[in-house]
Structure 1
């Protein structure tokens, strides 16, 4: 079966990415990141403005690098959600426009599922228990009976958001990302400061820990009790231990021999290292990708779009697909029927 050539557009957070995938091969995957000054996060309106400024440059780059023309594409995929409203809409408008200009079917993709499918494509994992960790999401997921089931998740903020917000307290640079800079500082940390460890059954909570470490940053560093590096080290060790714990429980429940880490925080080498220890103790394999594919990108949307298109949406009418091409900030991983897996 010849798999389709798909263009995917992603812009649910601070990255605009457009990728082209043909038959499981990434032909191009350029992206541009909106970086704010230290101490600041990114707001929906300014992020959407960034995407509007860059989207056509990135689109041109994706087509040129992939060496494809609009007529070579079988469909256009875009992120329907979850994500920030204004950035999602700014990219969906472009997806709808080119789908109509080029007369292509349009495929709405769930952002979380795109991360999982990209991870499976790149690592060749067959049926892994998935830890999905990013700035906006933290979930432990496993496939069962035509759905990606959520076994556990954060009950307040995502792990990436916890790291980002701590980086703001310390005025750490957002270039290339706050999490990456925390990871670098953590390597220099010597002293472990005990932090609240909150696992509730299969779910976890980060907001109490964040409040605690923010206060510690304001008092303990000044009094010389510890350094900023020590706090970065302690934060990583604690939150990653919580994530490994709930992932291990899901693996035990599913009798799983593979674990796959996806999402932006998934490139963190310390998290991968801790997960590897747990996996090898269970005789399981760890799969992870690098920043090209774990950080939001267009190719992952194209890959999920390609699977959805090939497994049933090919027969849908273009008008019907177009009617369904809206966005939503809330879009659960388990809402999507997975038609492409047996």
Structure 2
């Protein structure tokens, strides 16, 4: 029986979760929310994480009804992510590991998402669409590695949606992407936009520039509503993602598809993926915001998988990196 605690702080969410042999005991988080029209700066996000780390840690232990003595391993996000928030969260994890005299495991953020998705949905060997504010990748497991079949060549899909939300001055509470999704449900008039799929990769920056440039003029003229623009943007970017996911499934002969990452909560994305999966006789697996959005339990789960196959990180190597690719990690826990 192994109990792992995970510290996640790669972006604007600070999460600390506790997992015991594949059962989530607690998973509290605290989100740094900026005023409408603004993004979050690394130094301000890091300050938020420092201010809330102890209260979230206490909440995680209280909800799990365990004490530090019960914990077997400390897990933290090594990367990828924003430098300052990653470092401030890793500092807490390192300090706790030394105070409690526990081993520590450095976890890849993307693999945290994948392992959490597999745990919660029960997907065995899915093709994975990983979509968030900082990452967009199509991934499948092969020979002790999560291989990247396709990805964004510029900005992530979540970043594209967030930046358009800023143009419309949408609230960042609970998240810009969520508020775009709600507006898109009321949109009906479709605006044709650049659709950029290059082989197995996608590009969102040109599409974003196109809609940013046109948005205010279209809104002022009354030709399109904010709802129409959100609807058009969502439909276009999600269609691009489903095209490359389907191609990866065909290549791998896969009958399962799993959506993970913050954008993975989007009901319209899940609906479109479901249609594609059904047409292929495949099964869609997806989760809700408790496990899709960055959280501590996903880091605990991936760290738990690593720890039980003998992986630990020497204290002097518990650094962080903003660039840490999914395919750099040896997957020791899958056969």
**TM-score normalised by structure 1 residue count:** 0.97
Q: Distance in 2 between matches of 1:141 and 1:201?
A: 15
Q: How many angstroms does 1:170 deviate by?
A: 0.3
Could you tell me which of 5, 8, 13 is aligned with 2:6?
Answer: 8
Q: How does 1:255-274 map to 2 (within 5 A)?
A: 255-274=253-272
Q: Distance in 2 between matches of 1:18 and 1:128?
A: 27
Q: Partner of 2:180 in structure 1? A: 182
Q: Distance in 2 between matches of 1:321 and 1:341?
A: 23
User: 1:113 is paired with a residue of what secondary structure?
Assistant: helix
Q: Distance in 2 between matches of 1:34 and 1:133?
A: 20
Q: How many angstroms does 1:324 deviate by?
A: 1.7
User: 1:13 is paired with a residue of what secondary structure?
Assistant: coil
Unaligned runs of 5+ in 1: none
Q: Partner of 1:283 in structure 2? A: 281
Q: Distance in 2 between matches of 1:111 and 1:329?
A: 10
Aligned residues: 335
Q: How does 1:209-288 map to 2 (within 5 A)?
A: 209-288=207-286
Q: Partner of 2:79 in structure 1? A: 81
Q: Distance in 2 between matches of 1:259 and 1:322?
A: 37
Q: How many angstroms does 1:102 deviate by?
A: 0.4
Q: How does 1:1-342 map to 2 (within 5 A)?
A: 2=1, 4-313=2-311, 321-342=314-335
Q: How many angstroms does 1:230 deviate by?
A: 0.2
Q: How many angstroms does 1:56 deviate by?
A: 0.4
Q: How many angstroms does 1:323 deviate by?
A: 1.8
Q: Which runs of 4+ in 1 moved over 3 A?
A: none
Deviation string 1:261-296 (CA, Å, 9 cap, x unpaired) is 000000000000000000000000000000000000
Unaligned runs of 5+ in 2: none
Q: How many angstroms does 1:175 deviate by?
A: 0.2
Q: Distance in 2 between matches of 1:56 and 1:312?
A: 29
Q: Distance in 1 between matches of 2:84 and 2:78?
A: 12
Q: How many angstroms does 1:216 deviate by?
A: 1.7
Q: How many angstroms does 1:312 deviate by?
A: 1.7
Which moves more between the two structures, 64-73 or 130-139? Answer: 64-73
